[in-house]
Amino acid sequence: MMTNSYRPTVGGLERSIEYFTQEFRRLGHQVLIVAPAQKGAPEHERGVCRIPAIKNFNKTDFSIELPIYFNLSRALVKFRPQVVHAHHPFLVGNTALRVASKFKAPVIFTHHTLYEENTHYVPFNSGLIKQFVVVMATTYANLADCVFAPSRSIADLIRQRGVKRPVEVVPTGIYPDRFRVDNAREFRLHHGIRQDTFVVGTAGRLAPEKNIDFLMRGVLAFLQEHENAVFLVVGDGVSQMGLKKFFRQHGCSKKLICTGTLQAQELADAYYAMDVFAFASHSETQGLVLLESMACGVPVVAVDASGVRDVVRDRVNGFMIPDDDERDFAKAIREVACASDKERAGLREVAVAVAAGFTMDSSAAKALAVYERLVDQRSSGYERENNHWQELLRRALPEMEFARALVKTAATAEDLENEPGSRHQQAEV
């Protein structure tokens, strides 16, 4: 498993790697996780190789790897991977191509992220950069032996963008047993929430790509109409201070409850304390928090987007609005708040049933089946080298192809940007 981000960073991608690793090891497989050195990471981690990195890149929780991999080479020689699974198309993703070539292993790439929604972390963010990262991810996917899409909607999207390699829909599953115990009453008492208060909740990283600005405006529009209601926010991130400031400016500080990051039973308790789960992100490839909240019987109100439409059924286990309209979002929350006991019970029942279809053991089994098929293809002579020179060429080609495609993409994008009538040209005029 090769990734640019791992624990202690908390997010869907990091949990995906952790969950799949747990399942693979439970079934008797060996897993080595290659990840950047990060502040707060345990000194002794089982099966994790940390590589040097610039910590807290651009004032975020993420680290950027440095190309100094002495410890990685030793770890890989000892481990001898049969499968290389890349979780990013850049930085350590490039290293994944070299590792796969050296050990004659297939490369699997999980398209975890809509990278164009995250370019605000990069200096000189622009439409050109967004176009570039889309093509970069697509180019990388076409160098893999197989691409994992976390949802059907993402599989369709990346095929439209030009991914020609085999694509398998392999979502990150949940552990239903972790969401069996309902401690909502105790959670509400601990956080000073009355039992009869209507709780709008959300969970996840608080960052611009999660559409936090729209989310807080839509929720506030509902709260201003309902005196006995609060907004429960689980998670941390760069947008947290702006969220608190927004509620303070509108005189609603007492209606905002921020718990920080919660895990295990505390997270389940928070879900059970919610009456509706509010979600506005357009950047999800799956949205693991949606499944977790639904496993606790919480109906969802969300904006129609990739990952969301795969699990939220409008007016069946929640409500899905077509676009970022604050009034529609507040109205959808109000629909849940004003629903009868029977109607709410129906929403909860379907939510639990949908979540039950996404278990971690079934997801791991599907991933392993793909791994085994690819390994069998290799061992049966799928890519047999005939001599030393072909071996050297095979090792170099993936990165050469990747670099060539990126240079071509940059040139094409620049030409488009400079065409008469483009936004760039209009700005100059």
User: Residue 400: is it exposed, middle or buried by C-beta count within 10 angstroms (0-12/13-18/19+)?
Assistant: exposed
Range of the domain at 123: 12-173+361-402
Tell me what pLDDT residue 249 has. Answer: 97
Tell me what pLDDT residue 15 has. Answer: 93
Examine residue 338 and state whether it is found in any structural domain, yes or no: yes
Supply angle C-alpha 30, 36, 37, rounded to 5.
105
Report d(CA 181, CA 290) in Å as an integer: 18
Tell me what pLDDT residue 407 has. Answer: 64
Do both 216 and 317 map to the same domain? Answer: yes
How do beta strands 198-203 and 276-279 pair? Answer: parallel
Instruction: Provide the CATH number for the domain around residue 301.
Output: 3.40.50.2000
SS3 for 234-296 is EECCCCHHHHHHHHHHCCCHHHEEEEECCCHHHHHHHHHHCCEEEECCCCCCCCHHHHHHHHC
Q: H or E element: which one contains 346? A: helix 341-355
Tell me what pLDDT residue 91 has. Answer: 84
Rg, the chain, Cα only: 23
Examine residue 315 and state whether it is found in any structural domain, yes or no: yes
* Per-residue tokens: 229: 């209601």
Domain termination residue (choose one: 357, 392, 419): 357
Do both 338 and 394 map to the same domain? Answer: no
Report d(CA 279, CA 307) in Å as an integer: 11
Q: What domain count does the chain have?
A: 2
Sequential pLDDT tens for the chain (429 residues): 999 989 888 888 999 999 999 999 999 999 999 998 888 888 889 999 998 865 554 444 444 554 556 678 889 999 999 999 999 998 888 889 989 988 999 999 999 988 776 655 555 556 677 788 888 899 999 999 999 999 999 999 999 999 999 999 999 999 999 999 999 999 999 999 999 999 999 999 899 989 999 999 999 999 999 999 999 999 999 999 999 999 999 999 999 999 999 999 999 999 999 999 999 999 889 989 999 999 999 999 999 999 999 999 999 999 999 999 999 999 999 999 999 999 999 999 999 999 999 999 999 999 999 999 999 998 776 544 444 445 445 545 555 666 666 666 566 555 545 555 444 443 332
Do both 315 and 378 map to the same domain? Answer: no
Tell me what pLDDT residue 206 has. Answer: 94
Global pTM value: 0.85
Phi, psi of 157 (to 5 degrees): -65, -50
CB 336 within 8 A of CB 299: yes
Tell me what pLDDT residue 408 has. Answer: 62
**3-state secondary structure (DSSP) of residue 200:** strand
Do both 19 and 154 map to the same domain? Answer: yes
Report d(CA 284, CA 209) in Å as an integer: 9
* 35 strand-pairing partners: 50
Do both 352 and 366 map to the same domain? Answer: no
